[in-house]
Structure 1
Amino acid sequence: MDDPRIWITFLAVLGFVMPAGGLLSAFRHARTSAREVNTQLSRGLQLMRQEEMERSVVPYSDQQSRAEIRQRYARMRADEGIQMDTYGSVAFATLTAKDQIWSTALSGIKGDLVWVGVGLVAGGVASVWSTWI
């Protein structure tokens, strides 16, 4: 183990494997998150159609029944983690969407970025060290 070429080779391989693994893992997180959002969107649209169908058979004058239907579906959406915008939040829908995208993306790939960074440092150390041999 006195030969520095072994360590340089190890660091160089690590400099490739860790970033490649981190990028692959980040891609998998992004793909999984996109699938989850797509599933929630489909389910949210399904619940919205069901709610509209139920409310369409209730007379408009029966506000209590209509409110109960609305509350039941609001609970169902909340239980499934499906967020609905209200008229008050529509003005900020773009900013809310951007915030959701960035916070979700960063929280999902934070660990992956650490692996990429460590791998880049290992590759850099191997490169600099190899110039002195």
Structure 2
Amino acid sequence: MQSMKLLLLLLCVVVAVNTMSVSSMGKVSPRKSGKSAAEKAFKLEVKQLKKMKCKPRLVKVYVADELGETSDYHDKWLFPEVLAVKRCSASYSYCGDNLGRDTKICATTTHKMKNFTIRYLENNNSNNFEYFKLPIKVDSKCDCV
């Protein structure tokens, strides 16, 4: 009879251990079912997507790419070589539903031209800097379309 009680107690301990998990803090807590943990993870992923929103963000723009084909500045050393410009981008925005499907695209609805001051060397061997204004499109509003 004593061994039967011991076996029953051991069985209860095994069942209790199998239904519990130890957290990283060392505390024992009931194990969550895979479905609810997966659902929480899914909802967190969609929540992160929604935080991206559709709005202009700073992106790196190369000055040389913004010069017209007939520009006299292509053969000059330009400073800075890159600029931070606000642009709407489908890659850095989310226009989707609650299932994580990208249903629309983030596109520019309003923009303006902004003049950036660019410094250049007239003669590549001199230290004589000159300046010019370069108009670049800056996005001010985006919408999911």
Q: Would the TM-score normalized by the shorter structure come out above 0.5?
A: no
Structure number, greater radius of gyration: 2
Higher helix share: 1
Between 1 and 2, higher relative CO (CA 8 Å, sep ≥ 6) is seen in: 1
Structure number with higher strand proportion = 2
